[in-house]
Chain A
């Protein structure tokens, strides 16, 4: 009722103690296409739905490699997501340069959150309109975090953001207790099934989804389209034991992203 009076700028509180501009920014995340993350003790998987705005255009890039041990999936204003990915990459490079060791993902997430908070307390700025699922490794193992436009962040066992993410969340809620001890292949399978849930009937194909993995002993990389299609075909076969999943191909990716653009039907990566 009073929403329209107190939502003009981010530095105005509502009588109920809310910042509507920040909440509107979180709405933007809900409008973006789905992104899902799940983790086990040793691996984290990101999967997202890649919708092109038309048949003529290339797909939006939603998963970014930040460092060998950190990756991020975004939902919402992808331009904001790109800018934040660039910030994250820079932070990782600078930290490695100074300390000759990888930036712990927990630290990066806090830095991101603080950066987002600044935009909620300056009259000349607006909040970032993107939610980030940050995955990474540190000495304690694998982690999955969700960063909000509000400046909040949470760690998750599994999470989904974006449009129709509730369907994926329902599936994940049923299964998450098993994830800690899941194998890498089962984790990827669960990720793909979650993506399928968000598609609500539409056929799951590797051309509309992207999958990325990071794990202990495995650098962050995006799986190429053929591998993803094989994985989809493998679990779509009803009533059969899981056929041997071709996993060696992805593990040897040279510097990760070289394979992915080539496989995306020659589409140019719409990056920085």
Chain B
């Protein structure tokens, strides 16, 4: 008697990679724009990055249907917050909300691997990284998605975040300038594109700083 296998899965993986890097007064969030299923490409121009609040962006890879549902839910919750508090949600507040929302579906999770990036209440860059069920941590930089195994070690090498267990307490923020961070992101994606088949086509970079939010695009290999 062999164990019965499922003949259908509610999940699919649409691939792609996401990265976020926090600076002293900015945050860079980036993701590729390829959406795939199996060995096929569904589209080369799908954005994985969404604006949740004035100074808070989220990049998510995984199952894009779940990602879309999650984005809609968070946007609706943000509207309610604005009605009740007369102001935008701060990035740390949104980070907690995202964690709670993910854990709410602990036993039928959102197949969504998220990085939240933005400015905290003091205007400093912040990045939060999540697993599919809401475990999260504030870090100086992070990557998620199919290329994360290639990207993360490189970021560690370049940016090594001090451990939160160290004394005296050190900032979780990386001492990089905004343009250096953007260049680093471009380098990192170019490399990931080489070896990860699910990453490529185009890179979308979003920079959040005191002046606002700006977007940038860079072509990646299409194979």
Contact = CB atoms under 8 A, between A and B. Distances in A.
Partners in one complex: yes
Interface of A: 65, 86, 89-90, 93-94, 96-97, 254-255, 257-258, 261, 269, 271-272
B157 to A, nearest CB: 40
A94 B82 CA distance: 15
Contacts of B83: 65, 86, 89, 272
Contacts of B54: 254
B84 A255 contact: no
B47 interface: no
A255 B54 CA distance: 10
Interface of B: 54, 72-73, 76, 79-80, 82-84, 86-88
A255 B72 CA distance: 18
A94 B73 CA distance: 10
B72 A97 contact: yes
A272 B86 contact: no
A272 B72 contact: no
For B72, B76, B83, B84, the residue with the greatest tally of chain A CB atoms inside 10 Å of its CB is B83
A199 B172 CA distance: 58
Contacts of B82: 255, 257
Contact of A93 (B80, B84, B86, B87): B80
Contacts, number: 27
B12 to A, nearest CB: 22
B76 A271 contact: no
B103 to A, nearest CB: 21
Interface of B is mostly: helix
Contact of B86 (A90, A94, A258): A258
A89 B83 CA distance: 8
Given A89-B80, A254-B54, A272-B84, 8 more contacts: A94-B76, A97-B73, A255-B88, A257-B82, A257-B86, A269-B86, A271-B84, A271-B86
Contacts of A258: 86-87
- 5 nearest A-B residue pairs (beta carbon): A93-B76, A257-B86, A89-B83, A97-B76, A93-B79
B76 A96 contact: yes
27 contacts: A65-B83, A86-B83, A89-B79, A89-B80, A89-B83, A90-B80, A93-B76, A93-B79, A93-B80, A94-B76, A96-B76, A97-B72, A97-B73, A97-B76, A254-B54, A255-B82, A255-B88, A257-B82, A257-B86, A258-B86, A258-B87, A261-B86, A269-B86, A271-B84, A271-B86, A272-B83, A272-B84
B211 to A, nearest CB: 14
A89 B78 CA distance: 12
Contacts of B84: 271-272
A266 B56 CA distance: 27
A94 B75 CA distance: 11
Contacts of B87: 258
Contacts of A255: 82, 88
Nearest to A85: B83
B205 to A, nearest CB: 24
Nearest to A89: B83
A93 to B, nearest CB: 5
A81 to B, nearest CB: 14
Nearest to B75: A97
A90 B72 CA distance: 14
A258 B89 CA distance: 12
Contacts of A261: 86
Nearest to B87: A258
A86 B80 CA distance: 9
Nearest to B72: A97
A215 to B, nearest CB: 21
B198 to A, nearest CB: 28
Contacts of B86: 257-258, 261, 269, 271
A89 to B, nearest CB: 5
B101 to A, nearest CB: 14
A134 to B, nearest CB: 16
B76 to A, nearest CB: 5
A271 B73 CA distance: 24
Nearest to A64: B83
A103 to B, nearest CB: 13
